[in-house]
Structure 1
Amino acid sequence: MNSKKEKIISHCEHSINWVNNLENLSENQWRTPIAEGKWTIAEVVGHLIPWDKYFIERIPYLINESEMSPSPNIEEVNENASANSRRRSKEEIIKEFIEVRENLISKISELDDDLWEKEFSIGNKTLSLYTDFSRLVEHDELHFTQINQLLNE
């Protein structure tokens, strides 16, 4: 397996285990903001789900180098996910995160190894699968670090 592909899959598998361990949090911890004026752990985890779905939808456009619809409005996606997470249980959010992330792993696994070395041009942007999925990894790691810092206080 291509090492770049393997690195992304490994991160995604680790993220499933990491989020699954949040099941052990009390309801109070789950609903605690990661910092003053910031989202709760529930909202942070819940907002990862629509971004995973976005990456899943994006894959065919990348590998076919076809124009996709404009990127969603980040603030709108995040606000909708935040509001949705406030209404849902910890179990529902974690379950959906795992299901969607497993789907993402499946889609990534199906990609040919040689695609990970190829650069794609979409519009005026040139990128690779690895650089694109590295954004997802960086986004996850930022939020996992924030949650870890809160839980270790």
Structure 2
Amino acid sequence: MRETLSQFEKNIDEILALKEIDDTVLCEPLSEGKWSIREIVGHLYYWDKFILEKMVPLMGEGGNLPGFPEHDQHNEDAILFLKEYSVESIIDHFVATRKELTREMKNLAEDIRFTIGGGKRQFSGESFLKIFLKHDAHHIKQMKEKGLRQK
């Protein structure tokens, strides 16, 4: 679990590094019809916020967490929620929320098991986090590729 948490927290550095890139680049779509880096960071933040507020409080032995929201609607809600925020503010929100989420996950006992949305699959804190590490990796790769094209 320690290594998984370390990687989850390390992704903060990847997002903080975006502050070195010009806002105009961060606000351009990755390609036609795709999100911008700003929107991707907002998307990651909004998922962390959901997990922290709706799921973590129920992560106890035998807990049944709410199901994940419908992805398209959740993502649309994230983009609308972040509409008025600057790129720097979104990055700061992501960092603060990811740090808090990491702290909460560190406090979970390693032997607890819970389910999600009434499903039968048992998750540990680590197996749950690994879902979101893959999600982070997917989006970090997209952002890095965009950043390389801008140099």
When residues 49 and 149 of structure 1 are mapped into structure 2, their CA distance, relative to the original with a 3 A threshold, is same
User: Residues 74-89 of structure 1 correspond to what in structure 2 (within 5 A)?
Assistant: 74-89=71-86
Select which of 70, 81, 89 maps to 1:73. 70
Query: Which amino acid in structure 2 is aligned with residue 66 of structure 1?
Result: G
Residue 131 of structure 2: aligned partner: 135
Instruction: Give me the TM-score of the superposition, normalised by structure 1.
Output: 0.85
CA distance in 2, matches of 1:138, 1:43: 18
Instruction: Give me the TM-score of the superposition, normalised by structure 2.
Output: 0.86
Further displaced range: 74-83 or 58-67: 58-67
Q: How many residues align?
A: 146
CA distance in 2, matches of 1:131, 1:40: 29
Q: Is the 8 A contact 1:46 1:97 kept in 2?
A: yes
Instruction: State the shift of 1:70 in Å.
Output: 4.1
Identity %: 27
Q: Is the 8 A contact 2:15 2:91 kept in 1?
A: yes
CA distance in 2, matches of 1:13, 1:21: 14
Q: As a proportion of its length, which structure holds more helix?
A: 1
Q: Which runs of 5+ in 1 are unaligned?
A: none
Residue 15 of structure 1: aligned partner: 11
Q: Which runs of 5+ in 2 are unaligned?
A: none
Note if 1:38 corresponds to 2:34. Answer: yes
Runs of 4+ in 1 over 6 A off after TM superposition: none
Select which of 22, 25, 29 maps to 2:21. 25
Note if 1:120 corresponds to 2:117. Answer: no
Q: What SS does the corresponding residue of 1:45 show, helix, strand or coil?
A: helix
When residues 67 and 9 of structure 1 are mapped into structure 2, their CA distance, relative to the original with a 3 A threshold, is closer
CA distance in 2, matches of 1:60, 1:86: 28
Q: Is the 8 A contact 1:49 1:97 kept in 2?
A: yes
CA distance in 2, matches of 1:33, 1:110: 38
Question: CA RMSD for the aligned pairs?
Answer: 1.8
